[in-house]
């Protein structure tokens, strides 16, 4: 056995386990699919369509417009549009 490879594998496993439970804000670029009375339909990181609110005051978004979406502390229920690209 190559002990160096085994040590690196075990370190990688520890890091992966720690990152799986890590809660931080995630911001990603996406496009507005359509506008509804409840909010805007966007695609999240997993590829699912979500209806979200826009946190930018006084802005009306159009379908096809690129925006920044933020998911605070990894909570999908709090996903919102935080900016315009």
Bridge partners, 71 (sequence order): 26
Q: Are the C-beta atoms of residues 43 and 52 closer than 8 Å to each other?
A: no
Alpha helices (H) in the chain, listed in sequence order: 3-20
Task: Tell me the pLDDT tens digit for each residue of 9-60.
Answer: 999 999 999 887 788 898 999 999 999 999 999 999 889 999 999 999 999 9
Task: Give the percent of the chain with pLDDT over 90.
Answer: 75
CA end-to-end span of the chain, whole Å? Answer: 51
- Residue 26 zone, left/alpha/beta (φ > 0; ψ -120 to 50; rest): beta
Is pLDDT larger for residue 74 or for residue 63? Answer: 63
Q: pLDDT category, 65, cuts 50, 70, 90?
A: very high
pTM recorded for the entire structure = 0.74
Q: Are the C-beta atoms of residues 69 and 56 closer than 8 Å to each other?
A: no
């Amino acid at each position: 056995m190559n002990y160096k490879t085994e040590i690196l594998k075990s370190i990688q496993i520890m890091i992966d386990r720690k990152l799986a439970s890590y809660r931080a804000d995630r911001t990603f670029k996406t496009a507005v699919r359509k506008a509804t009375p409840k909010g805007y339909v966007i695609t999240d990181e997993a590829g699912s369509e979500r209806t979200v609110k826009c946190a930018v005051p006084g802005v009306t978004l159009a379908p096809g417009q690129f925006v920044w979406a933020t998911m605070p502390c990894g909570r999908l229920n709090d996903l919102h549009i935080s900016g315009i690209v």
